[in-house]
Amino acid sequence: MATKVMRYQIIKPIDCNWDLFGKVLRDIQYDTRQIMNRTIQYCWEWQGYSSDYKIAKGEYPKTRETFGYSDMRGYAYDKLKSIYQRLNTANLTTSITRAVQRWKTDTKDVIRGDKSIACFRADVPIDLHNKSMNIEKSDDGYIVALSLASNIYKKELDRNSGQFSVLINEGNKSNRDVLDRCIAGQYKISASQILREKNKWFLNLSYSFEISKPDKSRDNILGIDVGIVHPVYMAVYNSPARRSISGGEIDNFRKQVQKRIKELQLQGKQCGEGRIGHGIKTRVKPIEFAKDKVANFRNTINHKYSKAIVEFAIKNGCGIIQMEDLKGINTDNVFLKNWTYYDLQQKVKYKAELEGIEVKLIDPQYTSQRCCKCGYIHRDNRPEQAKFKCIDCGFEVNADYNASLNIATPDIDKIILEFLKCET
Ligand SMILES: [Zn+2]
């Protein structure tokens, strides 16, 4: 379940004028502030009593035995409902719950002195229980019926109902979508709030919904190719889904580090033999500086890449991720060589397993020379680094994409072995 909040301006009340409605909101806001601050006060009194009790008797008192309630909410409710009689009782409960939750989160910090005791101000939001709202679509727009006033208050106001209907600003399409889905029951309305900002009243509507995860299937395999042109190229077997990550970020980083190494080397020359013994700063050797920088960067970027890979797998319902079983990338590029593909693999494995996705390592031989369309393997299929062109069937495609599709193929190891057997 996920909960989100969407804000709507209250344009006007439907069944009374602004004078009355504004007064009701201000009254209720005033009471809400008192209720929440009193609840916090009860909680701290209980906290103090409870600590003293522990010192005297060696154990904490039980709320049920002391008050007859299992927690502070019941106690506060009973004390406060007779004092603050204007509020709809469901909303009163919601405010008390919010204050008790605040107290619970704050307790440790307050006792340590890191935080002061919560104090709710005059602009405190008015709480609405999820049953205190009813949304309807009318010819004039979206109307929300808000249960705000108690029976006592309703009589005092000389009204038949404690419910107030208001027209809200429907806003853009996504604002309207939320309202429509709440009306249709696709979204569940949760405890919400009314608040005042710059002399306008707003409804912060909270709604919750099930997060639908696409089913992961072991028939959907994600293949990952790592290379020079694209550090990571992803493709899904039997699907047009693909994604690549460009190497711009790595290039920029390499240039930065090389520039800094040059600066350090120059500095070293100027210091001459005096480098040693002239404090920590002058003793940093350019190559050590580079090593640290590269290691940090690699860690950050591998986290980023592995996250992107696993997210792509989830999005495409892949139950398996296939990667090449490389110990290191075979390239002259020093930075890629230091990349430790192994580290990326470990990070992908870790994140994938949390999502119930299996990571399979495959033999990397021939995955870049094989045509993903007809299966023909030949070194001449790769005329250039970035290009793949099959000399048998003529299929032409981005070389990294071709390789990642081969890597995504089920039982690719066996398929390649079979092909090689027939060839010889
Ligand atoms: Zn081919």
Are residues 402 and 319 located together in one domain of the fold? yes
Token digits for 56? Answer: 């005297």
Assess if residue 167 is contained within a domain.
yes
Here the CATH number for the domain that contains residue 226 is 3.30.420.140
Are residues 156 and 223 located together in one domain of the fold? no
Assess if residue 259 is contained within a domain.
no
Of 31, 106, 127, 400, which one is the catalytic site residue? 400
Closest CA to 147 of 89, 99, 78: 89
- Residues 6+ positions from 335 with CB-CB distance below 8 Å: 250, 254, 294
The position carrying tokens 């727009």 is 141
State the helix-helix crossing angle for 18-57 and 72-81, rounded to 10 degrees.
130
Closest CA to 184 of 135, 118, 149, 223: 135
Q: Is 324 a catalytic residue?
A: yes
Q: Is 400 a catalytic residue?
A: yes
Domain boundary among 209, 226, 241: 209
Are residues 53 and 151 located together in one domain of the fold? yes
* Structure confidence at residue 343 (pLDDT): 84
Assess if residue 97 is contained within a domain.
yes
Are residues 155 and 230 located together in one domain of the fold? no
Of 31, 106, 127, 324, which one is the catalytic site residue? 324
Are residues 138 and 29 located together in one domain of the fold? yes
Kindly list the averaged pLDDT for each block of 10 residues, start to end, along the chain of length 424. 91 96 97 97 91 92 82 91 95 97 91 88 96 95 97 95 96 92 94 95 94 77 87 93 86 82 77 51 65 81 94 95 75 54 88 91 91 94 91 95 96 93 80
Assess if residue 414 is contained within a domain.
yes
Question: How far is the centre of ligand 1, averaged over its atoms, from the C-alpha of 219 (Å)?
Answer: 23
Assess if residue 383 is contained within a domain.
yes
Assess if residue 283 is contained within a domain.
no
Domain that holds residue 55: 2-209
Domain count, the chain: 2
Question: How far is the centre of ligand 1, averaged over its atoms, from the C-alpha of 414 (Å)?
Answer: 18
Convert 6-41 into a string of H (helix), E (strand) and C (coil): EEEEEEEECCCCHHHHHHHHHHHHHHHHHHHHHHHH
Assess if residue 285 is contained within a domain.
no
* Structure confidence at residue 265 (pLDDT): 79
Domain boundary among 188, 209, 230: 209
Question: How far is the centre of ligand 1, averaged over its atoms, from the C-alpha of 391 (Å)?
Answer: 7
Question: How far is the centre of ligand 1, averaged over its atoms, from the C-alpha of 370 (Å)?
Answer: 8
DSSP symbol at 275: G
Distance CA 127, CA 298 (A): 48
* Structure confidence at residue 212 (pLDDT): 63
* Structure confidence at residue 333 (pLDDT): 52
* Structure confidence at residue 37 (pLDDT): 97
Are residues 34 and 63 located together in one domain of the fold? yes
